[in-house]
Structure 1
């Protein structure tokens, strides 16, 4: 069974109605990134940071997977599929995908500020005073700027094994996630689905650009790939 690795970014979730964090002016929902997405920002004003992610968590629970999320599930009947996402939402899982790696953490989880391996499911607001079993404050289970990406090595290993690479809704400008494209072999077909693809069509061999929305392009691509296997 061929291995398909799918890299997804904010563009996929945006089509479900989730606002992308980074606006055109560089602010995240009106906040400087240093205020709400760094360890220093959390140390300075933890209540502000917790409220910021509480709002994101509430919004997430008001939206649903779109046609792109749903279409990717169908690949699992014909391929060994791994989804590596930069998104912190659970829309891939809610659609039914069974193998999802969240490079930048998960919004519906919280972790101890003392032990990063102490991770809890968390679907409600997270507040000052919410602690782990040892009494340490909980924080969003999000990889903030300046922090290591703990699942990057695992993602790189998975990407190396890809027979087909699909990139959806990401600018491929955010590192280290963007570096994953360099782990596939030169003979691996790459499909890039984005309405405004920010990639040089001549930069990589076997690159197919689908200049369209994820909700439209991904179902078309999935149909194409399944037909090639049947």
Structure 2
């Protein structure tokens, strides 16, 4: 595909680029979306009932088994060309990444991530005392209905995944880092909104905030979204298609 000249010119003229990435960014790597993970053993269960603190409190081995399976699925895929292109872009411009994804594909591609707005599935912590857990974790090769979660070495509580569950607030540091990056934008800077549906807040409001700071907002998505109308430019394609070509055009 061909990237519009005005998009290339905008990024070429930018001092800093803010990346806001969503599920579409990782889908091309084969990371199942929230509901796509509901296959086989898990297909009869509603993920919105599994992804709550209450569900974990009532049955830790059951909820942990689902997340251990999801961790195994993420571990089995690789960053795509879009992830790698963003890492390359960081060598050309000042790049800040804020993602709604709970995987680590940006990092594995070589990018620094300023904010995981919905947490990270691998940032394990104690469900009782909040102490981070960096011990060994056994991930199942096949879906398993019940697996005992690791035990916190500090208080012997159950270890949980570092994702934001339904009913929980977003991490203060992730929100603060994202909003600070938006406030630092100046006219001429660029925001790339990649693979997000634009329906989950507060992330859905960030493109409008960036536009108010004078930044040029570019959406990269194969389909129309709730935020398409508020973007200066729209590139209809996937991250793995668009971003490598964009970076190549800058060099």
Tell me the distance in 2 between the aligned counterparts of 1:129 and 1:200: 40
Q: Specify every segment of 5 or more residues in structure 2 that has no aligned partner in the other structure, as ranges.
A: 1-13, 140-146
Partner of 1:143: 164
In the TM superposition, residue 32 of structure 1 has moved relative to its aligned partner by 1.4
Residues 1-230 of structure 1 aligned to structure 2 (within 5 Å): 2-23=15-36, 30=43, 31-116=45-130, 118-121=131-134, 124-125=138-139, 127-128=148-149, 130-150=151-171, 151-162=174-185, 163-186=189-212, 187-199=214-226, 201-204=228-231, 207-224=232-249, 226-227=250-251
Partner of 2:9: none
Tell me the distance in 1 between the aligned counterparts of 2:200 and 2:208: 14
Q: Specify every segment of 5 or more residues in structure 1 that has no aligned partner in the other structure, as ranges.
A: none
Tell me the distance in 2 between the aligned counterparts of 1:101 and 1:80: 15
- What SS does the corresponding residue of 1:191 show, helix, strand or coil? strand
Q: What per-residue deviation string (whole Å, max 9, x for no partner) do you get for residues 126-160 of structure 1?
A: 73352242222211111111111012122111122
Q: What per-residue deviation string (whole Å, max 9, x for no partner) do you get for residues 106-126 of structure 1?
A: 11221111233x223365347
Higher RCO structure (Cα 8 Å, ≥6 apart): 2
Tell me the distance in 1 between the aligned counterparts of 2:51 and 2:90: 34
Tell me the distance in 1 between the aligned counterparts of 2:121 and 2:18: 22
Q: Return the index of the structure with the highest Cα Rg.
A: 2
Quick one: structure 1 residues 124 and 103, their matched pair in 2 at CA, closer, same or farther if it must change by over 3 Å?
A: farther
Q: What per-residue deviation string (whole Å, max 9, x for no partner) do you get for residues 207-226 of structure 1?
A: 111111111011123334x3
CA contact 1:168–1:192 (8 Å) conserved in 2: yes
Quick one: structure 1 residues 200 and 157, their matched pair in 2 at CA, closer, same or farther if it must change by over 3 Å?
A: closer
CA contact 1:131–1:137 (8 Å) conserved in 2: yes
Count of residues in correspondence between the two structures: 219
The TM-score with structure 1 as length reference comes to 0.86
Q: Tell me the C-alpha RMSD between the 2 structures.
A: 2.1
Q: What per-residue deviation string (whole Å, max 9, x for no partner) do you get for residues 173-222 of structure 1?
A: 11122122232143211111111131465434xx1111111110111233
Quick one: structure 1 residues 129 and 175, their matched pair in 2 at CA, closer, same or farther if it must change by over 3 Å?
A: same
